[in-house]
Amino acid sequence: MPQNGTSSLSKQETPAEEIEMRSVVHLEDENVGPEAPLISGDTALDPDHGDNGKTAANKPNPHPSGSNFLWMLTFAACISGLLFGYDTGVISGTLVSVRSDLSARPLTTLDKSLITSCTALFALIASPLAGILADKWGRKVVILIADGLFTAGALWQAVTGTVWGMILGRSIVGLAIGGASLIVPLYISELAPGHIRGRLVTVSLLFITGGQVVAYIVGWGFSTVPAGWRWMVGLGALPAVFQFALLILMPETPRWLIKARYEERAKRILEKVYHDKRYPTEDVVSHTLQAIKSEILKEEHASLASPKSSSILPPTFSSLLFHPPHARALAIACLLQGLQQLCGFNSLMYFSATIFSILRFSSPTLISLSIAVTNFLATIAAFYLIDRVGRRRILLYTIPGMVIALLLCAFAFTFINLAPPTDQQGTVAGSSTPSRLPAVAILVSLLLYVIPYATGLGPVPWQQSELFPLSVRSLGSSLSTSTNWLCNFVVGVTFLPMMDVLTPFWTFATYAAVCALGWVAVWAIYPETMSMDLEDVGELLKDGWGVRESLRRVEQRRAAGCMDRAGT
């Protein structure tokens, strides 16, 4: 395995060497601008060779719904998503069941906050590190390390006897979640053909939200068993061990392999990914290979030619921050990830039982399960829509629904008298006799909020990897993943204080305002990337945000009938 993704050329993989030599020759030609074909006379390596709208109709058609091999790899990778969901969801049940089992005393509010928020904090630290490792050693290595951390963290939590031991265990799991949340969408995006990429990445969201549902059910099931919480947290080790074993069968992504100059291996994997008896795959494989190689050459050229690169920062960092197309991709990815968290969804994930207990529902944990189940079911809708309706359009349609539902919820809260401030257990105190109608209206409005969230903002930001060209893909994805965890952390620590200080009305109205502002930003700068090859997305952001151009291409592809392959 190469040390930095650019060395270790094997003898039989000379075509990649040749590519590198050609690239050097090309870079020595002063008259060749980034717009020009990289290798004159070689149409396969022409930047226009990809689907830029002119060639859409002529592109070879891969299997419309993906080969079995591709689906198997997607499911294998998604086990990390299941762990991400399980470990974020299990905390709510654990906090109620621990009682005095840790440090021989009941948990204080501070204990609860630390145990909950350290996971997001360590996920935030882990994602950029995972991005660097994913570039150096490959995507698979990060999955392997995350599995090790998931297992160690789960077992440690199950046996620990102190609050600080629990915080340590949650932090180890946080490191694993940070790595997994970066690598799963990246791994799948780099394997998937453009026309089903959105759906395959959304499968990982089904595993995340499904993991949250399982965690809530397990939490509910073990809540009456003495020390049952040890089983809740310890069970997280099982899927990690299973995935660890599966890793032997999982290949590296073709895109990383080509960057690391293992072209023959990349070709063999592409052949398997696109394999189907009913469809000739040779053309698709060679088209994809050439498009990846062309993109690598262009990126190498562009970053060398970039005038604003800084000598203080490592080259990939300065290329990501100072090369305008890369910086634009980063801005969009961070906007979407920040919006996904600052819209307040995880305040429900972490505190819905608290909200429903102040509303005097007889079984708050069961009612909060309805939030998790709705989140999961609406993600299934996203799976069907994301490659048909498109990422941008889904967001523009669903965010207004979230704004309305949040305002309804804020309004309904004005009919509930809340006694200030939180009690000793960190629970927001409620009035003695809240009326049933506003309480039911709050539950309904929260469910109405979750449906559009899970159809749009839940899955769309995780399509982030497709925005970045290969040279900065894992670094860019890791920074936007960190943005996600930073904002997740902010929402986790501010929700209860906001409810106390600002009142529930202003808390939910603030989330509504964030969503409304987010809608404007999405409308202004997020281009439609549905059905595009990864290598073509970069073209869109070359001279601007590419919104109009992306919509024009969507129309063109529709007219050419290309989208029928995705079932549109």
Interface with ligand INS (CB under 6 A): 88, 205, 208-209, 212, 340, 346, 349, 375, 458, 462, 488
For ligand INS, give the closer residue by CB, 70 or 208. Answer: 208
Three-state DSSP at 268 gives: helix
What is the number of the residue whose Cβ is closest to ligand INS?
458
d(CA 545, CA 535): 16
Q: Which is nearer to ligand INS, 367 or 441 (CB)?
A: 367
Q: Which is nearer to ligand INS, 19 or 371 (CB)?
A: 371
Comparing CB distances to ligand INS, the nearer of 39 and 382 is 382
State the maximum Cα–Cα separation within the chain, in Å, rounded to a whole number.
Answer: 80
Tokens of 548: 């109009």
- To ligand INS, the closest distance from the beta carbon of 368 in angstroms equals 13
Q: How far is the CB of 116 from ligand INS (least distance, A)?
A: 13
Could you tell me the smallest distance in angstroms from the CB atom of residue 484 to ligand INS? 6
Question: Which CB atom, from 188 or from 296, has the smaller least distance to ligand INS?
Answer: 188
Of 341, 329, 347, 388, residue with least CA distance to 567: 388
Q: How far is the CB of 458 from ligand INS (least distance, A)?
A: 3
- The CB-of-554 to ligand INS minimum distance in angstroms stands at 24
From the CB of 376, what's the least distance to ligand INS, in Å?
8
CB 124, CB 175: distance < 8 Å:
no
| Cβ pair 433, 156 in contact under 8 A | no
Beta strands in 399-548 (DSSP E): none
Beta carbon nearer to ligand INS, 373 or 470: 373
Closer of 294 and 488 to ligand INS (Cβ) = 488
Structure tokens at 128: 């950029």
Among 508, 365, 386, CA closest to 458: 386
β strands within 34-186, DSSP E: none
Count of Cβ atoms closer than 10 Å to residue 338 Cβ:
21
**Would you say 171 or 318 has its CB closer to ligand INS?**
171
Pick 229 or 376: Cβ nearer ligand INS: 376
Cβ neighbours of residue 116 under 8 Å, at least 6 residues apart?
Answer: 91, 95, 170, 350, 492
Q: How distant, in Å, are the alpha carbons of 171, 192, 430 from that of 166?
A: 8, 38, 30
> Of 192, 193, 180, 182, nearest to 153 (Cα)?
180
* Helices 470-501, 315-322: inter-axial angle, 10-degree rounding: 70
Spatial neighbors of 63 by CB under 8 A, at least 6 apart, are 193, 274, 276, 278, 279, 281
Query: In the complex with ligand INS, which residue's Cβ is closer, 209 or 480?
Result: 209
Least distance from C-beta 248 to ligand INS, angstroms? 29
> Distance (Å, rounded) from C-alpha 483 to C-alpha 171?
18
Judged by CB, which is closer to ligand INS: 137, or 350? 350
- Is 274 or 345 the residue whose CB approaches ligand INS more closely? 345
CB 447 within 8 A of CB 371: yes
Q: 281: Cβ–Cβ under 8 A, 6 or more apart, which residues?
A: 62, 63, 271, 274, 275
360 touches 434 (CB < 8 A): yes
HSE (CB half, 13 Å, CA atoms) of 209?
27
Structure tokens at 556: 């063109």
Cβ-Cβ contacts under 8 Å for 548 (sequence gap 6 or more): none
In whole angstroms, how close is the CB of 375 to ligand INS at the nearest point?
5
